[in-house]
Amino acid sequence: MAELRPPRLVLGSASPRRLELLAQIGITPHALRPADIDETPQRDEVARAYVRRMAVEKAQAIVLEEDEACLTADTTVAVGRRILGKPADRAEAAEFMRLMSGRRHVVLTSMALRFGDRLSVRVVETKVRMRSIDAAALENYLDMGDWQGKAGAYAIQGAAAAFIPWIEGSFSAVVGLPLSETAAMLAAIGIHSAPEGARP
């Protein structure tokens, strides 16, 4: 009987941060296949349901070969019931940062892993506190442009780290992919970290 080979992993994301995070735990996808879906929240949709739906819809939108599995993820920031996605412009980025200034918010990251007719989904919640940000510090931050393309207008591993004295939960989830939970999901379908020389 032939030995069962683990599936080839497709990362359904264009995020270089997620690729770097997977590399951190010794996993290199054999392909990158970003999903193109409508990421507009539904009316009255809460953040947890929204990120879960996004990850699942991305996973379902990707065309796979029989021996492929796809991993997709979505990260969003929530202040109360309000979902803070990627800011459309500088003014919206400033609005988001003022909203989070001096208070706690929640970062939710959902992962979906599809292989054959099996779909596994996890949602990881991390609490983040931002210190009060004065007008000069905010303008300086906006000038750097680090808010562009980031949920909630910031990346915890970027310039905004200067504003974040405390988190409770998964740092890697705030970056874009909770590594412990992702590794467990991948291991469940036979995908394990490999030494550098053994990677495809």
Q: Please write down the long-range contacts of 177-184, taking CB distance under 8 Å and 24 or more positions apart.
A: 177/17, 177/18, 177/21, 177/22, 177/73, 177/109, 177/111, 178/109, 178/111, 178/122, 178/124, 179/21, 179/24, 179/25, 181/111, 181/122, 181/124, 182/21, 182/22, 182/25, 182/71, 182/111, 183/25, 183/27
46 neighbors 81 (Cβ within 8 angstroms) = yes
Q: Establish whether 38 is a catalytic residue.
A: no
**Do the strands 118-129 and 82-84 form a parallel or antiparallel pair, or are they unpaired?**
unpaired
The count of residues in the chain is 200
Angle of CA points 104, 110, 122, to nearest 5°: 115
- Spot the catalytic one: 74, 89, 143, 146: 74
Annotated catalytic residues are: 74
